[in-house]
Amino acid sequence: MNDPAWRAIGAGMTVLAYAALCASVYWRQRRLRADNARAAAALAGGDTGQQALVLFASQTGNAETLAWKTARWLHERGTPSRLMPLNDADAETLRRAGSAYFIASTYGEGDAPDGASVFAERVMGGAVADLSSLRYAVLALGDRQYANFCAFGRALDEWLHAKGARRQSERIEVDNGDAVQLAAWQAHCSGSNAEAVAEAPVSAPQPWRLVRRTLLNEGSAGGPIFELAFTPADGSAAHWESGDTAQITLDSDPGRPREYSIASIAADGEMQFLVRQERHPDGTLGAASGLLTSTLPIGDTATFRIRPHRGFRLGGNADRPLILIGNGTGLAGLRSHLRARAARGRRENWLVFGERNARCDFLCRDEIASWQQGGVLGRVDMVFSRDQEEALYVQHRLLQAHEQVSQWIASGAAIYVCGSLNGMASGVDAALRQILGTAVMGELSAADRYRRDVY
Ligand SMILES: Cc1cc2nc3c(=O)[nH]c(=O)nc-3n(C[C@H](O)[C@H](O)[C@H](O)COP(=O)(O)OP(=O)(O)OC[C@H]3O[C@@H](n4cnc5c(N)ncnc54)[C@H](O)[C@@H]3O)c2cc1C
Ligand SMILES: Cc1cc2nc3c(=O)[nH]c(=O)nc-3n(C[C@H](O)[C@H](O)[C@H](O)COP(=O)(O)O)c2cc1C
């Protein structure tokens, strides 16, 4: 058959598949709305009139963790509650809730985290009815090192207030996990003077023994990246899912745990990381990355907490094709997913990975090659920005491959992005919006088919 005929058939199939995607998204949204309406009706009715909604806007899980604690504190004082990601709520849910507690983090340049992007765009950006029936409180999570401190929590609070909702208390802003502010929130929720809570849906701290450290990018123009392997020092079994992270807390900086994407699966028997050695302008090493990549001797132990990263797990996408996009140490989170996929014999995986030079920065080359040979990776695009005159990044490759991106999405694929927020994740997001359109991106986020672990 001639080229135009093939193109016409291809285009027809893309349109059909796209129509199927829209239909499936429509039905899911309908179901979600129905669920929300039922929940709201339950909240509004009879003996559940005292029930509160706890809504979280979270990227990496802190806000979600605090939402669970908030629900427990409310429960302890006799207020039943229902937990919900902000993206699952609409104006009607809020109007009928009566009472709501919002826990919201901030990302990017003062933006909503992914778990609230749909809400921010559609509900806060839409024409919303009066919310004067709602009483609410906002806990805003942020970090003063960023220019737009707690910007999304503030915007949410101001929007609720502008829509007529009544504040139960003034907004509480938490700088970098500040214990005093968290205790104030706990006191508000529990109605008492409770001290800050330690319990969280992260695992208990556990000692891990460093058994291997390998430099992966010798001669690189970028900072050195090491693969680290740890085994449980106390012999106990550890559990995590691909996509999860582990936190290490330093004695020198107890208020700011450092987070690392786990690059292996539990079946490997080792917790592995890909860590870039950070060097400060004064020549000293990054506090945590310096310990992990340099000063911690092989055979010594470090204490980690494993943190379920629900927003980046495979979850409901386990049986879908996956487009995995990342750069640098972002390969860690993608690698754990690829190992999980290989272990389950799932083949439809497309890796789009960016670094500087193929000669030094082709991380995990052998493992990627073996996945290609074994069919785990159906397509691989390695994008080396400095190997040609013009700088080329993963987002450019996505734009070049826009037809395949659309086809994969039409056939049900989910997108996972791991690595740098600045440059990579924002560039990828813009490219995907250009290829798929803002509406489809919104549907993908709402259906948890667009997931990011970016930092
Ligand atoms: C969800 C998530 C997942 C992550 N996954 C990974 C991963 O898989 N691999 C990875 O390598 N990283 C990952 N990170 C980043 C990691 O958590 C750390 O932020 C990173 O390793 C730097 O920490 P550090 O303690 O070494 O650096 P720090 O010592 O905290 O320094 C970091 C920055 O602070 C400033 N700074 C601190 N002290 C000084 C000083 N004395 N002089 C000048 N400037 C200073 C500088 O701007 C410096 O660049 C992840 C982060 C998140 C949020
Ligand atoms: C890449 C990145 C960007 C961030 N941007 C901001 C910001 O602009 N303003 C702010 O106050 N906090 C910012 N933060 C801090 C987060 O809001 C804070 O760590 C919060 O506890 C994260 O909660 P979560 O795990 O629920 O997403 C940022 C954090 C990261 C890792």
The last residue of one of the domains, among 166, 197, 228, is: 197
* Domain identity same for 181 and 257: no
Confidence at residue 73, expressed as pLDDT on a 0 to 100 scale: 86
Ligand with an atom nearest the CA of residue 285: 1
260 lines ligand 1 (CB under 6 A): yes
* Domain identity same for 193 and 84: yes
In this structure, is residue 292 part of a structural domain?
Answer: yes
Q: Which residue, by CA, sits nearest to atom 24 of ligand 1?
A: 286
Closest CA to 24 of 452, 416, 411, 415: 411
Classified as helix, coil or strand, 172 is strand
Ligand with an atom nearest the CA of residue 329: 1
* Domain identity same for 101 and 241: no
* Domain identity same for 100 and 215: no
> What tens digit of pLDDT does each residue of 178-234 get?
888 898 899 888 876 433 333 345 778 999 999 999 999 999 999 999 999 999 998
In this structure, is residue 265 part of a structural domain?
Answer: yes
Who wins on pLDDT, 305 or 61?
A: 305
User: Domain range spanning residue 299?
Assistant: 206-307
276 lines ligand 1 (CB under 6 A): yes
Ligand with an atom nearest the CA of residue 63: 2
* Domain identity same for 166 and 217: no
Number of domains forming the structure of the chain: 3
323 lines ligand 1 (CB under 6 A): no
* Domain identity same for 137 and 193: yes
What CATH number has the domain bearing residue 346?
3.40.50.80
Who wins on pLDDT, 402 or 421?
A: 402
331 — pLDDT class (breaks 50, 70, 90):
very high
Distances (CA, A) of 248 to 56, 142, 206: 24, 19, 10
What CATH number has the domain bearing residue 298?
2.40.30.10
* Domain identity same for 214 and 325: no
Who wins on pLDDT, 212 or 16?
A: 212
- Residue 105 Cα to ligand 2 midpoint, Å, equals 6
In this structure, is residue 225 part of a structural domain?
Answer: yes
In this structure, is residue 138 part of a structural domain?
Answer: yes
Ligand 2 atom closest to 66 (CA): 26
Which of 199-211 are b and which e, b meaning 16 or more Cβ less than 10 Å from the residue's Cβ?
Answer: ebebbeebebbbe
The last residue of one of the domains, among 142, 167, 197, is: 197
Mean per-residue pLDDT over the chain, rounded: 88
What CATH number has the domain bearing residue 158?
3.40.50.360
136, 168 contact by CB (below 8 A): yes
Ligand 1 atom closest to 290 (CA): 26
The last residue of one of the domains, among 262, 288, 307, is: 307
334 lines ligand 1 (CB under 6 A): no
Ligand with an atom nearest the CA of residue 247: 1
Confidence at residue 19, expressed as pLDDT on a 0 to 100 scale: 53
Ligand 2 atom closest to 454 (CA): 1
Query: What are the contacts of 364-373 at 24+ separation with CB within 8 A?
Result: 364/216, 364/331, 364/335, 367/335, 371/338, 371/342
* Domain identity same for 363 and 444: yes
In this structure, is residue 3 part of a structural domain?
Answer: no
What count of other Cβ atoms lies within 10 Å of the Cβ of residue 219? 10
Lining residues, ligand 2, CB within 6 Å:
58-63, 105-107, 110, 113, 141-143, 146, 148-151, 421, 455
286 lines ligand 1 (CB under 6 A): yes
Ligand 1 atom closest to 282 (CA): 42
**pTM across the whole model:** 0.70
What count of other Cβ atoms lies within 10 Å of the Cβ of residue 444? 21
In this structure, is residue 362 part of a structural domain?
Answer: yes
422 lines ligand 1 (CB under 6 A): no
244 lines ligand 1 (CB under 6 A): no
45 — pLDDT class (breaks 50, 70, 90):
very low
Q: Which residue, by CA, sits nearest to atom 32 of ligand 1?
A: 286
* Domain identity same for 246 and 362: no
In this structure, is residue 30 part of a structural domain?
Answer: no
* Domain identity same for 441 and 334: yes
Ligand with an atom nearest the CA of residue 284: 1
In this structure, is residue 111 part of a structural domain?
Answer: yes
* Domain identity same for 224 and 355: no
* Domain identity same for 320 and 450: yes
